[in-house]
């Protein structure tokens, strides 16, 4: 049970203690955000400590994140789980007059996202990837008005920065999400009870200004003496972290990136309490490859720009315009130097010309302009033999090796492939290629195996959510819905299913193997809500002999008349069942004509009773004597079944 002074008061009077992995959880979430956002990530700055400010700014401007779609692809892939053919929520059977059941409470009107199942796969699925240390909490946030009113439990997602304490199955403190105009609320929950503390404001007292809270179950404010926390009726604490990939040691860089750049150290945390857990995102195994590939891709972009826009050189043949200024002008250029003189002509100072930069010559200007080049001539006795008609290029570009760019591209491709392979999504890299359809289909098998493990975890969380809602609203003895975990994720189309069905029929597979294919093909063609699909499902459930054709059913009826005691109740029931199977479509059409679409809303027992009554009308009362099928008259005496051919006389067999 919650204790007011020990568990609640520290968080009302101050910030209260935080769990050991609090900062590590926030750092892991921030690292994921940086890896998949559009903006330039901070960790790329850390990898280049010697770059100038201008160079870093240039990298930020040209940065494009090639891995941004990967996170969304992974989240959408997890949606395969809820869309799988064999994912089912089995609701408990209830009396026909019951209106307030777990199924009705969790239906489409549960939230703005729809039912509990819809809310779960829309909200929990992305947060499971973005923030694995977030908490899923199920509690009635508002207390019932009286004991006769049932509680209204609601699932709530708490981001990791609002999870102040979480000891698995023992104790949890979270700050509930709120709008800007709503008061701050804290939720406290342990294995047995819970409490909601709502902030009311600041109150002036003799002791000073104190924070005022409204705490569930608190009747006396003096030292919490009148505190009795309400029970949540759950066998386990209804607050779970979303993550699956648990790590006993949390390692993170922290928020001081400049200090991290100087020291190169990281922070490692290991909790003393084994019930304090730290989880990593399912994308975290690929983060190292993603960060390295982002760096290589950014380097390749810079190298490409430098390669395309390499430095230009040209002969500077134009004399600086300042050389043509009069001698009296202090800006006059002498071979790139401007001389400052006094009134007597004495030199006071010399500085580089601001026009030509101290070179004495300037560029020719536009690339489409003309450059006048004077051929070299002999300037001294040592140059006497120099040729005067050498072809001299007026300008050009400094060549830059293409090898660094190739190396960066190869390294980026390798790291990108490693990142996708780590997540078992490597088929996305080869899907646009000319690989055969069969090859791509087998490449997806690794992803389907990954989905099996993810489905086990996410469906278990969904099951716990339904359990907590049922326990808190209907009590510990109420029947709970069951979440059937899917195992088949291959999203095949109708043509593939049709081909599989043809192979199954051609190879005479067992009926239990053919029926799922038939059912799936009908679903593809007409939809799961069509009359054709409902007819097939109803035949599966009610037809006593679904695998026999009409000829075999009639032979069975004749055999029953011979084998069963005439006039017995067993004979009557057996014949009625055979007739129900033989005239199944006719009987079903009769029921639909009489009852309309309401027939589909009946349970299987009521449907079977009505259809058997129709079959009984077709059979009528059975005679007490067997009937000769040749004459149609009753047979007196003993009956002997003889084969039409005596196999002892082989001459009868042609």
The answer to whether 159 and 131 are in contact (CB under 8 A) is yes
The two structure tokens encoding residue 378 = 């002999």
* Angstrom distance (rounded) from CA 303 to CA 519: 57
The answer to whether 234 and 253 are in contact (CB under 8 A) is no
The whole-number pLDDT of residue 647 equals 52
Do β-strands 267-269 and 361-362 pair in parallel, antiparallel, or remain unpaired? unpaired
φ, ψ dihedrals at 364, nearest 5°: -70, -15
The two structure tokens encoding residue 625 = 């004597």
Provide the 10 A C-beta neighbour count for residue 426: 18
| Residue of 434, 426, 419 lying closest to 297 (CA atoms) | 419
The two structure tokens encoding residue 638 = 């003993």
| Count of all residues that appear for the chain in the document | 654
The whole-number pLDDT of residue 166 equals 95
User: Which burial class, exposed, middle or buried, applies to 42 when counting CB atoms under 10 A from its CB (0-12, 13-18, 19+)?
Assistant: middle
**Long-range contacts, stretch 636-643, CB < 8 angstroms, 24+ apart:** 639/562, 641/562
* Angstrom distance (rounded) from CA 362 to CA 364: 7
Handedness of CA 174, 178, 180, 185 (dihedral sign): negative
* Angstrom distance (rounded) from CA 192 to CA 545: 52
The whole-number pLDDT of residue 257 equals 47
Provide the 10 A C-beta neighbour count for residue 296: 20
Walk along the chain (654 residues) in steps of 10 and give the mean pLDDT of each run. 89 87 93 91 75 81 90 89 85 80 89 92 94 96 84 94 94 92 92 92 77 82 69 94 90 59 70 92 92 89 77 71 83 84 78 82 60 55 54 67 86 88 73 54 71 90 95 91 80 69 86 84 79 88 87 85 79 88 90 88 89 86 63 64 55 53
DSSP 597: G
The whole-number pLDDT of residue 28 equals 93
The whole-number pLDDT of residue 490 equals 57
Handedness of CA 36, 37, 42, 47 (dihedral sign): positive
* Angstrom distance (rounded) from CA 33 to CA 351: 53
Starting at the edge strand found earlier in the chain, the sheet holding 347-352 runs 333-334, 337-341, 347-352
* Angstrom distance (rounded) from CA 156 to CA 169: 17
The answer to whether 378 and 364 are in contact (CB under 8 A) is no
One DSSP character per residue, 362-379 reads E---STTS----PPP---
Q: Which residues pair with 194 in a beta bridge?
A: 189
The answer to whether 36 and 65 are in contact (CB under 8 A) is yes
Residue 482: CA count within 13 A, CB half-sphere: 6
Question: What residues contact residue 310 under an 8 Å CB cut-off, 6+ apart?
Answer: 397, 398, 399, 400
* Angstrom distance (rounded) from CA 444 to CA 456: 19
The b-or-e profile of 387-410 (16+ CB within 10 A means b, else e) is: eeeeeeeeeeeeeeeeeebeebbe
* Angstrom distance (rounded) from CA 131 to CA 125: 10
The answer to whether 40 and 47 are in contact (CB under 8 A) is no
Tell me, rounded to whole angstroms, the distance of Cα 67 from its chain centroid.
16
Distances in whole angstroms, Cα of residue 31 to Cα of each of 130, 132, 267: 10, 12, 14
* Angstrom distance (rounded) from CA 182 to CA 195: 18
Do β-strands 318-319 and 361-362 pair in parallel, antiparallel, or remain unpaired? antiparallel
* Angstrom distance (rounded) from CA 314 to CA 24: 57
> In degrees to the nearest 10, what's the CA dihedral of 19, 120, 196, 464?
-80
Question: What residues contact residue 163 under an 8 Å CB cut-off, 6+ apart?
Answer: 19, 22, 25, 133, 134, 135, 172, 173, 174
The b-or-e profile of 109-140 (16+ CB within 10 A means b, else e) is: ebbeeebbbbbbbebbbbbbbbbbbbbbbbbb
* Angstrom distance (rounded) from CA 216 to CA 230: 8
């Amino acid at each position: 049970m919650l204790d007011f002074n020990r568990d609640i008061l520290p968080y009302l009077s101050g910030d209260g203690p935080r769990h050991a992995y609090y900062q590590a959880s926030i750092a892991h979430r921030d690292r994921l955000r940086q890896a998949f956002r559009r903006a330039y990530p901070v960790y790329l700055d850390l990898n280049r400590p010697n770059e100038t400010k201008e160079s870093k700014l240039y990298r930020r401007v040209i940065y494009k994140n090639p891995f941004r779609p990967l996170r969304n692809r992974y989240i959408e892939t997890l949606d395969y789980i809820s869309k799988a053919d064999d994912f089912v929520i089995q609701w408990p059977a209830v009396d026909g007059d019951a209106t307030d059941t777990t199924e009705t409470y969790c239906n489409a009107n549960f939230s703005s996202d729809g039912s509990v199942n819809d809310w779960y796969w829309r909200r929990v699925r992305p947060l499971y990837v973005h923030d694995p240390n977030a908490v899923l909490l199920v509690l009635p946030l508002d207390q019932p008005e009286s004991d006769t009113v049932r509680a209204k439990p609601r699932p709530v997602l708490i981001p990791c920065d609002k999870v102040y304490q979480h000891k698995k199955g023992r104790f949890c403190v979270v700050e509930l999400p709120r709008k800007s105009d709503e008061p701050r609320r804290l939720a406290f929950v342990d294995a047995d009870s819970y409490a909601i503390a709502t902030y009311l404001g600041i109150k002036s007292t003799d002791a000073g200004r104190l924070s005022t809270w409204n705490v569930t179950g608190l009747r006396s404010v003096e030292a919490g003496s009148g505190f009795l926390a309400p029970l949540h009726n759950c066998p386990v604490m209804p607050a779970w972290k979303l993550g699956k990939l648990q790590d006993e040691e949390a390692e993170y860089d922290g928020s001081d990136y400049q200090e991290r750049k100087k020291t190169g150290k990281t922070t490692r945390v290991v909790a003393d309490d084994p019930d304090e857990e730290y989880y990593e995102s399912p994308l975290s195994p690929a983060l190292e490859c993603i960060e390295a590939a982002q760096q290589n891709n950014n380097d390749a972009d810079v190298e490409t720009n430098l390669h395309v826009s390499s430095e230009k050189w040209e002969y500077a043949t134009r004399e600086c315009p300042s050389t043509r200024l009069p001698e009296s002008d202090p800006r006059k250029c002498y071979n790139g130097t401007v001389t400052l003189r006094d009134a007597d002509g004495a030199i006071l100072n010399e500085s580089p010309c601001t026009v030509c930069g101290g070179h004495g010559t300037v560029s020719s200007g536009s690339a489409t302009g003309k450059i006048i080049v004077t051929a070299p001539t002999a300037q001294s006795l040592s140059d006497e033999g120099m040729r005067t008609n050498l072809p001299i290029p007026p300008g050009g570009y400094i060549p830059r090796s293409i090898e660094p760019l190739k190396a960066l591209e190869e390294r980026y491709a390798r790291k990108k492939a490693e990142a996708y392979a780590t997540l078992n999504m490597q088929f996305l890299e080869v899907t646009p290629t000319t690989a055969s359809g069969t090859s791509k289909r087998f490449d997806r098998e690794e992803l389907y195996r990954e989905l099996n493990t993810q489905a086990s975890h996410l469906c278990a969380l969904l099951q716990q959510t339904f359990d907590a809602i049922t326990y808190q609203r209907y009590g510990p003895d109420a029947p709970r819905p069951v979440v059937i975990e899917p195992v088949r994720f291959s999203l095949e189309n109708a043509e593939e299913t049709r081909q599989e069905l043809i192979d199954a029929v051609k190879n005479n597979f067992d009926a239990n193997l053919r029926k799922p294919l038939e059912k799936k093909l009908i679903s593809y063609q007409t939809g799961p809500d069509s009359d054709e699909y409902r007819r097939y499902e109803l035949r599966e459930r009610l037809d006593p002999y679904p695998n026999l054709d009409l000829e075999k059913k009639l032979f069975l009826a004749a055999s029953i008349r011979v084998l069963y005691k005439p006039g017995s109740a067993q004979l009557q029931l057996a014949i009625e069942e055979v007739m129900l199977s033989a005239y199944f479509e006719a009987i079903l059409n009769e029921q639909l004509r009489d009852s309309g679409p309401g027939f589909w809303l009946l349970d299987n027992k009521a449907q079977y009773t009505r259809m058997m009554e129709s079959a009984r009308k077709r059979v009528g009362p059975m005679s007490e004597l067997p009937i000769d099928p040749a004459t149609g008259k009753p047979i007196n005496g003993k009956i002997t079944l003889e084969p039409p051919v005596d196999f002892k006389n082989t001459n009868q067999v042609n």
